[in-house]
Chain A
Amino acid sequence: MTVLFYISACIAVLATAMVITRTRAVHALLYLIVSLLAVALIFFTLGAPFVAALEVIIYAGAIMVLFVFVIMMLNLGAQAAKQEAEWLKLGTWAGPTGLCGALAVELIYMLTSEQERLSAVAVVTPKEVGMALFGQYVIGVELASMLLLAGLIGAYHLGRPHRH
């Protein structure tokens, strides 16, 4: 189990180093998604399956989709089709796909050796997290909802088209 942690950690560091050294935003985004998936797997090995799922759904899903939308909006132009053809080349997606494949092998290994895993690591279940979130930390939940509302209004205000 600890070996899986170290493999995931190496993948996360490698993918993050690739994120900050790429010249094209979409390439960096692919590596950033790999990095987030590796961190999700690390959460799973640490006995935190609930936040591992949240990391995949919210970080690698929702937030990265926002980035993809914005990058695609900024890239509209004559050379968009040419870029599209270039992105389909093997060199672009071979790196992220290889790292994702390593993560998938780890995940399959983990799921097939479920019994040893449960006995080795103390798992904090989603039920406990929910009880703490809506019991002890309920004021934080309220504040987070206000923060999200402020973010929503701010994004709407900034994203409005200019009226001249």
Chain B
Amino acid sequence: MIAQVPMGHGLFLAAILFTLGLAGVLVRRNIVFMLMSVEVMLNAVGLAFVVAGARWGQVDGQVMFIFILTMAAAEVSVGLALVLQLYHSFKTLDADAASTMRG
């Protein structure tokens, strides 16, 4: 356990990756890029769980990562189906094109 990476550094990396993903969601308007940024954010959260689990040598962090992985798979399949629907309806990938509701 002597050569272990400090937990703070791992959490710091997770925070940087999460912030980059958040910036991607907020800055980009292409919906495919926004989905990719959401993936980056989910991955950063999973990294934080694994870092915390490795700090105490427990399995719970890895179990939570597996649940996040499952959730990301379900999210991306529905999200990409929505991307295809958006493209077929509006002939563009701009998220702002779908900003109006039709009740």
Contacts and interface: CB of A to CB of B under 8 A. Distances in A.
Given A25-B30, A144-B67, A124 B62 contact: yes
Contact of A147 (B17, B59, B70, B82): B70
B40 A67 contact: no
Given A47-B57, A155-B77, A158-B85, 8 more contacts: A2-B3, A39-B17, A48-B53, A48-B62, A51-B62, A63-B39, A147-B70, A158-B84
Contacts of A151: 73-75, 77-78
Interface in B23-56: 23-24, 27-28, 30, 32-33, 35-37, 39-40, 43, 46-47, 50-51, 53-54
A142 B84 CA distance: 30
Contacts of B39: 32, 59, 63
Interface stretch (A13-21, A82-90, A95-103): A13-21
A130 B3 CA distance: 27
Interface of A: 1-2, 5-6, 9, 12-13, 16-17, 19-20, 25, 28-29, 32, 35-36, 39, 42-43, 45-48, 50-51, 54-55, 58-59, 62-63, 66-67, 70-71, 73-74, 120-122, 124, 128-129, 131-133, 137, 140, 144, 147-148, 150-152, 154-155, 158-159, 162
Contacts of A120: 2-4
Which 7 residue pairs across A and B have the least CB separation, nearest first? A151-B74, A20-B24, A158-B81, A120-B3, A46-B54, A155-B77, A144-B70
Interface of B: 1-5, 9-10, 13, 16-17, 20-21, 23-24, 27-28, 30, 32-33, 35-37, 39-40, 43, 46-47, 50-51, 53-54, 57-63, 65-67, 69-78, 80-85, 87-88, 93
Given A16-B20, A29-B36, A158-B78, A132 B63 contact: yes
B25 to A, nearest CB: 9
Contact of B71 (A5, A28, A147): A147
B92 to A, nearest CB: 10
Contact of A19 (B36, B66, B67, B84): B36
Nearest to A12: B17
